[in-house]
Structure 1
Amino acid sequence: MDDSTITVYTDGACSGNPGPGGWGWAVAPDGEPHGSGGDDRTTNQRMELQAVLEALRALGVGSEAGHVEVVSDSTYVVNCFRDGWWKNWRRNGWKNSKKQPVANADIWEPLVDLVESGDVTFRWVKGHSGDPMNDRVDALAVAAVPAK
Structure 2
Amino acid sequence: MDTIVVNNFPSNVDILLGGHDLELLRKMGVSIPKFPSLEPAENFTRFVPPNATDTPEMLFMPKINNCSIPAPRFTRRSNPREFLIYTDGACIENGNENASAGCAFVFRPEVPPSMIPPSTSCGHSTRTMNLHTLGACNFRLESGGPNGEIVPQTSNRAELRAIIAVLQFRLWHNEGFQRLVIATDSSYAVEGSTNWIRKWQQNGWQTSNRRPVKNRDLWEVIIKELGKCSRAGLEVQLWLIPRSLNSVADRLAKEGAALADVERWANRSGVVC
Structure 2 length-normalised TM = 0.48
Q: Look up the SS of the partner of 2:257 in the other structure.
A: coil
SS at structure 2 position matched to 1:42:
coil
CA 1:32 to 1:60, structure 2 compared with 1: closer, same or farther past 3 Å? Answer: farther
Q: Aligned-pair distance for 1:81?
A: 3.1
Q: Deviations over 1:11-60 (max 9, x none)?
A: 00000113101000011533753211113650000000000000111132
For residue 107 of structure 1, what is the aligned residue in structure 2? 218
Q: Which of 192, 198, 217 is matched with 1:80 structurally?
A: 192
Counterpart for residue 80 of structure 2: 3
Q: Name the structure 2 match of 1:47.
A: 158
RMSD (Å), alpha carbons = 2.2
Does the Cα contact within 8 Å between 1:20 and 1:146 map onto a contact in 2?
Answer: yes
Given candidates 96, 119, 137, the residue that maps to 2:249 is 137
Give the aligned residue type for 1:80: G
Give the deviation of 1:122 after TM superposition.
0.7
| Mean Cα deviation higher: 69-78 or 138-147 | 138-147
The structural deviation recorded for 1:88 is: 1.0
Match of 2:100 among 20, 23, 47: 20
- Count of aligned pairs: 142
Change in CA separation of 1:6 and 1:142 when aligned onto 2, cut-off 3 Å: same
Q: CA deviation at 1:113?
A: 2.5
Is contact 2:101–2:158 with CA below 8 Å preserved after alignment?
A: yes
Q: Distance in 2 between matches of 1:94 and 1:32?
A: 39
Number of the residue aligned with 2:10: none
Name whichever structure is richer in strand by fraction.
Answer: 1
Relative to its length, the structure with more helix (as a share) is: 1
Verify the 8 A CA contact 1:35 1:55 in the aligned structure 2. Answer: no
Residue 141 of structure 1: how far off its partner (Å): 0.5
- Equivalent residues of 1:36, 1:140 under 8 A apart: yes
> Does the CA contact (< 8 Å) of 2:88 and 2:162 recur in 1?
yes
Distance 1:147 1:26 in 2: 18
Give aligned-pair identity as a percent.
26
> What is the match of residue 35 of structure 1?
137
1:126 aligned partner: 242
The farther-off stretch of 42-51 and 138-147 is: 138-147
Q: Name the counterpart of 1:146.
A: 258
